[in-house]
A and B are shown apart, each in its own frame.
Chain A
């Protein structure tokens, strides 16, 4: 009798999603078991880490974060290159900070994204600023300009998902639907999207919160998403999970006021959500990334 005889195989699994064009593609998810339950079923792709790059130089970053990127802040390609070569990012998450301006030029932004996508050696996630109209405008433009590059575009919310998803589909990109810390609304958006968009090109963001700022909610929702998908075989919840934590961690006063504390804040937030089932972490500080990689290796 072997240990395996006691296990009942799970009915469900997490879909495997590929990001990036051939030659530099990276896979997310694909596990047939709960997070880290390799003893019960086949694990999927390792947890992936993206570092953030801004398309225009960020403002308000504390010096102990900014200093790591001081030489590249105004050059997204060089910045991305540094993240990949020096800091070991699997993926680059390009944040469209330029959308903050009132008179942004979507075509120009898209042109710039294309340039970055062409020159960076890893896949690209492209994230809007969370303004439903501006994001839609820019992401639709980017979908067209970057046809075939298999970007992962987000966030898609209930007010703009149709527009962005249609453009993403035509351009051959993946998407990140985002729901406001509510598992029922998460499913709702997935149901609506999967009526016309392929499940295998979606990675969901149930919304992450930093330690001390509601991470317990994020944790239990993500944990439930995995249970519903893997144990209960719910087709609508089988997408890998994206946790975009850099932004939330680095706006806390705890992370801003002290270097060590900031690094720990982001690393432990990441670790916690990885345990809950996050498949792709979007982070900001290279030292946090290093630390969390060390913790899970």
Chain B
């Protein structure tokens, strides 16, 4: 699975200070460490950057000096996006466009103009769709529009939008359903999503297990990539298929009821987490304790 490292993002204090001071060192460090950890793309999330859209140009410049990885330019501001696109040496990923009118008019054309891949989320003017079929409806329309302006399916990374399981558990199941049908409705399209949002709101020490189990499940449902915490070592190993025993247990738990009474703690936790992610058992913050 292709991993997009999320660790350079504006909500981090280190990152926002470094951006303000134009201090390249901590940012380059973050990029180098992520590349070492196994990230295939380095996400540069600068937020809307209304005051200083050129910050993307500067940031993309200093990061590509430090690592030889493609960048994922992450902003909703098309001016900042274009500033970044103009300096990238390796074709970057536009992260992201959506089915919102404004994004269709200003962001999507950049992917055609710069001939690069683009993340297209299922978001539309009416909001985030709430089930798999309305996700399908939304994305088909946006993808058709993208095709019309010269972006083929192969360059589109569909983002179904991961919601926090603690807020709306059935949405996670709907997202899986959507992943299963994506190739039927947009043949050749790739996919990605912000994995960490899944565990937003869950107890801090339990966020990792949710993210880790989920990425294995997503890959099985055909998901092409995910935006992840590069520094979660086990997650990276799972995503790269380096822990086949754990992956196999996850698949088994997805397919059948497993009697957990005789399993050791780590395996029990995996099965319980699969059950919660599949919607087989109701989520609560203490799902591992029941």
Q: Which residues of A contact B (CB under 8 A)?
A: 183-185, 187-188, 190-192, 195, 228, 232, 234-237
Distance in Å from the Cβ of B277 to the closest Cβ of chain A?
14
Distance in Å from the Cβ of A157 to the closest Cβ of chain B?
15
Measured CB to CB, the nearest residue on chain B to A190 is: B284
Measured CB to CB, the nearest residue on chain B to A186 is: B284
Q: Within the assembled complex, what's the spacing in Å between the Cα atoms of A106 and B89?
A: 74
Instruction: Assess whether A188 is in contact with B281, with CB atoms less than 8 Å apart.
Output: no
Main secondary structure of the interface of B (DSSP, over half): loop
Please indicate the chain A residues that have their CB under 8 angstroms from the CB of B285 in the complex: 184, 188
Question: Closest 8 CB pairs between A and B?
Answer: A187-B284, A188-B284, A191-B286, A228-B282, A188-B285, A184-B283, A184-B284, A191-B290
Please indicate the chain A residues that have their CB under 8 angstroms from the CB of B166 in the complex: 184
Please indicate the chain B residues that have their CB under 8 angstroms from the CB of A191 in the complex: 284, 286, 289-290
13 contacts between A and B (CB under 8 A): A184-B169, A184-B285, A187-B283, A188-B284, A190-B284, A191-B289, A192-B286, A195-B289, A232-B280, A232-B282, A235-B290, A236-B282, A236-B284
Excluding A188-B285, A191-B286, A232-B281, 4 further A-B contacts by CB distance (< 8 Å) are: A187-B282, A187-B283, A190-B284, A228-B282
Q: Within the assembled complex, what's the spacing in Å between the Cα atoms of A237 and B284?
A: 11
Main secondary structure of the interface of A (DSSP, over half): helix
Please indicate the chain A residues that have their CB under 8 angstroms from the CB of B280 in the complex: 232
From B282, B286, B289, A237 is in contact (CB under 8 Å) with B282
Distance in Å from the Cβ of B35 to the closest Cβ of chain A?
37
> Count the A-B residue pairs with Cβ separation under 8 angstroms: how many?
32
Measured CB to CB, the nearest residue on chain B to A233 is: B281
Measured CB to CB, the nearest residue on chain B to A228 is: B282
**Of residues A184, A190, A232, which shows the largest number of chain B Cβ atoms within 10 Å of its Cβ?**
A184
Distance in Å from the Cβ of A186 to the closest Cβ of chain B?
8
Instruction: Assess whether B284 is in contact with A185, with CB atoms less than 8 Å apart.
Output: yes
Please indicate the chain B residues that have their CB under 8 angstroms from the CB of A190 in the complex: 284
Q: Within the assembled complex, what's the spacing in Å between the Cα atoms of A185 and B282?
A: 10
Distance in Å from the Cβ of B261 to the closest Cβ of chain A?
14
Measured CB to CB, the nearest residue on chain B to A237 is: B282
Instruction: Assess whether A188 is in contact with B286, with CB atoms less than 8 Å apart.
Output: yes
Distance in Å from the Cβ of A64 to the closest Cβ of chain B?
41
Q: Within the assembled complex, what's the spacing in Å between the Cα atoms of A190 and B166?
A: 16
Please indicate the chain A residues that have their CB under 8 angstroms from the CB of B283 in the complex: 184, 187
Distance in Å from the Cβ of A110 to the closest Cβ of chain B?
33
A interface footprint on B248-290 (CB within 8 Å = 1, 0 otherwise): 0000000000000000000000000000000011111110011
Instruction: Assess whether A234 is in contact with B282, with CB atoms less than 8 Å apart.
Output: yes
Please indicate the chain B residues that have their CB under 8 angstroms from the CB of A185 in the complex: 284
Q: Within the assembled complex, what's the spacing in Å between the Cα atoms of A111 and B288?
A: 42
Q: Within the assembled complex, what's the spacing in Å between the Cα atoms of A191 and B288?
A: 10
Q: Within the assembled complex, what's the spacing in Å between the Cα atoms of A236 and B284?
A: 10
Distance in Å from the Cβ of B77 to the closest Cβ of chain A?
35
Instruction: Assess whether B282 is in contact with A184, with CB atoms less than 8 Å apart.
Output: yes
Please indicate the chain B residues that have their CB under 8 angstroms from the CB of A195 in the complex: 289
Q: Within the assembled complex, what's the spacing in Å between the Cα atoms of A139 and B286?
A: 27
Distance in Å from the Cβ of A223 to the closest Cβ of chain B?
13
Given contacts A184-B282, A184-B283, contact A236 B169 (CB under 8 A): no
Measured CB to CB, the nearest residue on chain A to B279 is: A232
Measured CB to CB, the nearest residue on chain A to B169 is: A184
Q: Within the assembled complex, what's the spacing in Å between the Cα atoms of A273 and B290?
A: 28
Q: Within the assembled complex, what's the spacing in Å between the Cα atoms of A190 and B287?
A: 12
Distance in Å from the Cβ of A239 to the closest Cβ of chain B?
13
Q: Within the assembled complex, what's the spacing in Å between the Cα atoms of A234 and B166?
A: 17
Measured CB to CB, the nearest residue on chain A to B166 is: A184
Distance in Å from the Cβ of A159 to the closest Cβ of chain B?
15
Measured CB to CB, the nearest residue on chain B to A183 is: B282
Q: Within the assembled complex, what's the spacing in Å between the Cα atoms of A237 and B283?
A: 12
